[in-house]
Amino acid sequence: MSGSVGASPGSILYVKIKDNDACVFTKGGYDKAYGNQTLIYMGKVDGINAFHSSYSKIYLNLKMPITEENCIRINSLEFKENFPYSITLEVDREYNQRICVKQNSEGKTVLLEAKADLEKGTYCGTNQYNYSSNSLLAKLKIFIIGWLAY
């Protein structure tokens, strides 16, 4: 399955590596999802906005993942190296984040910076990046401005 995805001003989804898996959480919001359903999906972002779905799961009666302690985990085997991924969590609103994942020389999963370029589209940088801090707001604003300029 493939389709187009554009930059949207959805809420920020935070990502951290926990026991070698990606761990996603919202840092706020509601305790329970509307209708008690939580959908998480992700896919590779290839070139300029081509989205290739690679993972999805629906959770019923799940407590909202608002902290690292009750995050939703995505197994590191779901990621291929050096590809940017878009991860979306849908409840009553949409939370999203673009990330890159890599295994370091010790076999541990690390997060790399996902970059955007008008000619290349979204691609992986070489620097590690902390997707679990509030500094994402600045990065997200730059990312959205870059996409809107396109």
Hey, where are the domains in the chain?
2-149
pLDDT at 73 over 90: yes
Query: pTM for the whole thing?
Result: 0.77
Residue 74 is inside which H or E element, if any? strand 72-74
Amino acid 126: pLDDT: 85
Pairing of strands 84-90, 94-103: antiparallel
Separation CA 130–CA 113 (nearest Å): 8
Domain 2-149, classified CATH 2.60.40, yes or no: yes
- Count Cα atoms within 13 angstroms, Cβ side, for 57: 10
Least confident of 22-31, 38-47, 99-108, 133-142: 133-142
The pLDDT of residue 57 is: 95
**pLDDT tens readout for residues 12-40:** 999 999 998 999 999 986 666 778 889 99
